[in-house]
Chains A and B, each alone.
Chain A
Amino acid sequence: MSDFLKRLGRERLYWDGGTGSLLQAKGLKGGELPERWNLTHPEDVLSVALGYFAAGSDIVNSNTFGANRLHYPDPNELKAIVEAGVGHVVEARRRCHREKDCYVALDIGPTGRLLKPMGDLDFEEAVSLFGEVARWGEAAGADLVLIETMNDSLEMKAAVLAAKENTCLPVCATCVFDEKGKLLTGGTPESLAAMLEGLRVDAIGVNCGLGPVQLNPIVKRLLAATSLPVIVNPNAGLPRMEDGRTVYDLSAEDFSAAMAEIAAMGAHVLGGCCGTTPEYIRRTVEKTRSLPFTPPVVKHRSVVCSFSQVVEIGEKPVIIGERINPTGKKKLQQALRENDLDAVVALGLSQEEQGADVLDVNVGLPGLDEAATMAALVPKLQGVLALPLQIDSSDVQALEMGLRLYNGKPLINSVNGKRESLDAVLPLAAKYGGVLVALPLDEGGIPATAEGRVAVAKKILTEAAKYGIRKEDIAVDGLAMTISADAGSARVTLETLRRLRDELGLHTVLGVSNISFGLPQREVINANFFAMAMESGLSLAIVNPGSAGMMAAYRSWLALSGRDPQCAGFIAAYGQQEGSLFAGGPAARKPAAQASGGTLSDSIRFGMAERAAQQARELLAGGADPMALINDTLIPALDAVGRGFEAGTLFLPQLLMSADAAKAAFSAVKEVLSGANQAVKGTVILATVKGDIHDIGKNIVKVLLENYGYRVIDLGKDVAPEAVCEAALKDGVRLVGLSALMTTTVPSMEATIRLLRQRCPDTKVVVGGAVLTQAYAEEIGADHYAREAMDAVRYADEVFGVG
């Protein structure tokens, strides 16, 4: 163990304070890159470190906050800057004769870019650029890595992995919170604590953003949430402008008084950030040195989280939505094979609305590249929904891919007692963190008794402990197996749950509906078994939250077991429900608002999707011919809306609502049509060009094209010219639509057209976007300029000779 780690959390340590304002006082310009001073002004940089060692800092940062290849593209210069940055602090420490009890921290700040899915920086690119800096820093003599001023938990994760994969150094991690206690990307003290403990950093904390007064309640939350030492490096108060300069509102005296309160609350490492100087640190040391020190306390909490939401296991049963799993689901299988991830995301969003706390994500399908699909789907899901995920795969590579890219601390499904599984999965759980689902089966098969299952669970616990995985980060599956094959199986499962809880103090999980395979009316058995399982201590239930029966069992059990004060949750869910829950089977939801007259054409014209679908179904039930319904009603109605839009009597939002209604009616018709009858007019590729991240326009065109009978290959946004060409060549696509919103990205549109001309000379190109004009489109060599979305549809009809 490093000397630093022996002291961290056992005694109060002091970090350094701000650097920028000290260097500016020595002549650094506001717009200058400060890290370059490591090479050009070595003595100035060194003197800052000297000042902090003299003031009482035990840990001083290298001047390498922004030293990464995005800011310094020349690798030789960058390496020299990092080495010199660390070297100056090492030298300062030598001059103070403090080699024995002071530490040099390699300082790593954010890239300044936002990671995918919200931004454009690739996760592995971030890991790589942090990694090289970490390697150089360790070689130059750093004792630890400080990753600081992060306001995106995913970027923090990339930096932590980079430090751990490239060095043996201790890693400390501090984030910027705002007054509401949130990171820019939504993280909270609790979610950051969960994720970073999972990643096994050595200390976590807060820095920058606010002063010690505003940070006080945030530090309190962090101390309550984490078992790790807590670092507090605030600014010198809040900034204000004074004569064109930024000044902070706390004097060194006021700052140190506020820091003393934070020390008394139990923070373990104290320092400063923007606006603080050695004087601030010196007074903080003076005021806090003799205060009693409380080492961190292990909290034994079982939590999973996303980038913003924390789910605590154990308070009440956690609902894990099971729908993102292709087993036995034809539509989802097709969507996965066609890489239609939007359909998968829609499944996630609907489960969130139905009350899921966590979503299971399983993409296991024969012939599918499971790891690649997982790598694409996890970020895609996290781009639009904030529920924690359960990464679920029997393919170790897919499991690792999901864990690596996941923003937060996930559930991991699963490990079992077989040697092969233990050796493959436990290291992943140890590296990435998560609550691990353990199946109590091994080389001997599934134990038939609760006794046997508890024994395997014990074995898994012991093995996991070797990797430092605590029992609160394990949930054991009770293994529900159908009672149609073995009448005693439910009893064994329930007994297993009770014994795991009572004898081992473990959390438990079940795939509840497995209990009823082969039986009629499965929902009835499932719901009753679910209630019994909850009464036997079930912590996590993998169920379909869209099942009225399951959710009724869940809400009833909460109310009956006293976990729903005043039955508020129950009443909120069912208070408005008319008639019996059981009267109409699964469709016993509130009846849809009664259609108040009007034809199917009217519903499309006025954009009423639900009503359009209902009317289409009624017409079909009344004997209408599906093809006639499409050709004589739906298409003319949609066309009328399109013409109205082109004539300026209807607006884009109306056109889109009508398109939505037509789509709902189309899918009602398609339910009764066999696949062969669904004619496709042609295939069109759509992409927002490289460098551009605006995709609403492109997506509007997509919706309309699909409505008018085209198959659309949507390549997304920020798409390289090569990717467009490859897709066009692969499927022999005759029409490509390109979108660009910014003047600055039109050259990239031009480059795409040029490459298409070379490699796919027969493919036509239609372009659109706010900055384009007819003349501009001609200039960059497009075949057609679509001023509005409908223009693109009309042009497609022209190219494919239809319409």
Chain B
Amino acid sequence: MLEADRREVYRYLGLRGREPDAGTAQTVEEAVAALQEAVEPKQVSRRFPLKRDGDGGLDIEGLRVQSAALSRNLSGCDEVYLMAATLGLGPDRLIARAQAVGAMHLALALQAASAAMIEAWCDEVNDGLRREAAGRGKVLRPRFSPGYGDFPLDAQTGLFRLLGVQKTIGVTLTDSLLMLPTKSVTAVIGIGDEAIPCPTKCAACNRTDCAFRDERRDTP
């Protein structure tokens, strides 16, 4: 069963490291329990060769990406995993339902808890890929998603096509390239010969005044 890291849930709720009150804690537990019944975790991932073109762009089987941040993340890699993971429509339905009856505190807790759960699910998928890579004497870079830094969301269309995301796990893109179900993640994971330190998640972001910034991650 997928777990939701409570620290992460409370961080998403804006608690900034402080202890939750009893009411909030109870709402969060209620949300996690409901979500554990409702999620349908699915994933698809595949390994692709990584090529670089002359002007610093990346080419993954025809998917061309111009992104300094991703290039840095993938330096020294000649292969990548593409992955897509989702919790299915269950969380979206629960959130819509909570909002429809005006239970905004529950909607918010569901939102935060399902965000933590999709991260947990991605970590699980990522771990599987890490073991597979280790079997070939390779190590993985931190996963990097379209929308991080200057990695454009436009890459979603090509990534979806390469992995057959819609067909295999049912995730779709909106007109503005957002994913539905909303609790879905796509990512590129570099496959290298040696580990190099690279900033990830909050530490990779220059928004230092963000209300949700995770201070723990500032020093990898």
- Given A30-B62, A383-B96, A657-B105, are A112 and B173 also a contact pair (CB < 8 Å)? yes
Comparing A81-89, A688-696, A794-802, the segment that makes contact with chain B is A688-696
Comparing B66-74, B106-114, B116-124, B137-145, the segment that makes contact with chain A is B106-114
> Which residues of the other chain, A, contact B178 by a CB distance below 8 angstroms?
691-693, 742, 744
Please, how many angstroms separate the alpha-carbon atoms of A342 and B104 in the complex? 13
Partner of A660, one of B100, B104, B166: B104
A244 and B13: CB pair below 8 A?
no
- Least CB distance from A595 to B in Å reads 16
- Contacting A at CB under 8 A, from B185-219, are 207, 209-212
A31 and B158: CB pair below 8 A?
yes
Please, how many angstroms separate the alpha-carbon atoms of A182 and B96 in the complex? 21
A651 and B170: CB pair below 8 A?
no
> Which residues of the other chain, A, contact B158 by a CB distance below 8 angstroms?
31
B174 and A113: CB pair below 8 A?
yes
- Least CB distance from B111 to A in Å reads 5
Q: Which of B95, B101, B176 has the most CB of A within 10 A?
A: B176
- Given A114-B172, A120-B174, are A696 and B46 also a contact pair (CB < 8 Å)? no
Partner of B111, one of A659, A696, A773: A696
> Is there a chain B Cβ closer than 8 Å to A446's Cβ?
no
Please, how many angstroms separate the alpha-carbon atoms of A696 and B104 in the complex? 8
A151 and B175: CB pair below 8 A?
no
- Contacting B at CB under 8 A, from A373-415, are 383-385
B108 and A656: CB pair below 8 A?
yes
B180 and A743: CB pair below 8 A?
no
A657 and B27: CB pair below 8 A?
yes
> Which residues of the other chain, A, contact B207 by a CB distance below 8 angstroms?
773
- Least CB distance from A279 to B in Å reads 22
> Is there a chain B Cβ closer than 8 Å to A325's Cβ?
no
Partner of B88, one of A152, A184, A208, A742: A184
- Contacting A at CB under 8 A, from B34-92, are 40, 42, 45-49, 61-63, 79, 88-89, 92
Main secondary structure, interface of B, reads mixed
> Is there a chain B Cβ closer than 8 Å to A372's Cβ?
no
- Least CB distance from B17 to A in Å reads 12
B162 and A31: CB pair below 8 A?
yes
> Is there a chain B Cβ closer than 8 Å to A345's Cβ?
yes
B27 and A112: CB pair below 8 A?
no
> Which residues of the other chain, A, contact B174 by a CB distance below 8 angstroms?
113-114, 119-120, 691, 693
A651 and B20: CB pair below 8 A?
yes
Closest to A109 in B: B167
Contact digits for A111-154, partner B, Cβ 8 Å, 1 yes 0 no: 01110001111000000000000000000000000000101100
Range for the number of chain B residues in contact with chain A: 35 or more
Partner of B109, one of A32, A653, A663: A653
A244 and B162: CB pair below 8 A?
no
- Given A694-B182, A696-B107, are A30 and B89 also a contact pair (CB < 8 Å)? no
> Is there a chain A Cβ closer than 8 Å to B97's Cβ?
yes
Please, how many angstroms separate the alpha-carbon atoms of A686 and B145 in the complex? 30
Closest to B49 in A: A244
> Which residues of the other chain, A, contact B97 by a CB distance below 8 angstroms?
349, 384-385
Closest to A608 in B: B23
Please, how many angstroms separate the alpha-carbon atoms of A118 and B181 in the complex? 8
B147 and A742: CB pair below 8 A?
yes
> Is there a chain A Cβ closer than 8 Å to B153's Cβ?
yes
Please, how many angstroms separate the alpha-carbon atoms of A707 and B177 in the complex? 35
> Is there a chain B Cβ closer than 8 Å to A652's Cβ?
yes
Contact digits for A692-722, partner B, Cβ 8 Å, 1 yes 0 no: 1111100110010000000000000000000
> Is there a chain B Cβ closer than 8 Å to A364's Cβ?
no
- Given A31-B63, A244-B48, A692-B178, are A654 and B23 also a contact pair (CB < 8 Å)? yes
Contact digits for A635-671, partner B, Cβ 8 Å, 1 yes 0 no: 0000000000000000111101101100100000000
Partner of A113, one of B14, B45, B153, B172: B172
- Given A113-B172, A384-B93, A693-B174, are A118 and B180 also a contact pair (CB < 8 Å)? yes
Partner of A607, one of B18, B105, B147: B105
Contact digits for A1-39, partner B, Cβ 8 Å, 1 yes 0 no: 000000000000000000000000000011111000000
B209 and A699: CB pair below 8 A?
no
> Which residues of the other chain, A, contact B170 by a CB distance below 8 angstroms?
151-152, 176, 183-185
A700 and B182: CB pair below 8 A?
no
A178 and B40: CB pair below 8 A?
yes
> Which residues of the other chain, A, contact B88 by a CB distance below 8 angstroms?
184
Partner of A699, one of B49, B99, B109, B180: B99
> Which residues of the other chain, B, contact A33 by a CB distance below 8 angstroms?
161
> Which residues of the other chain, A, contact B104 by a CB distance below 8 angstroms?
656, 659-660, 696, 699-700, 703
A-B contact pairs, 9 of them (CB 8 A): A30-B48, A118-B181, A653-B20, A654-B105, A657-B27, A696-B104, A700-B104, A744-B176, A745-B176
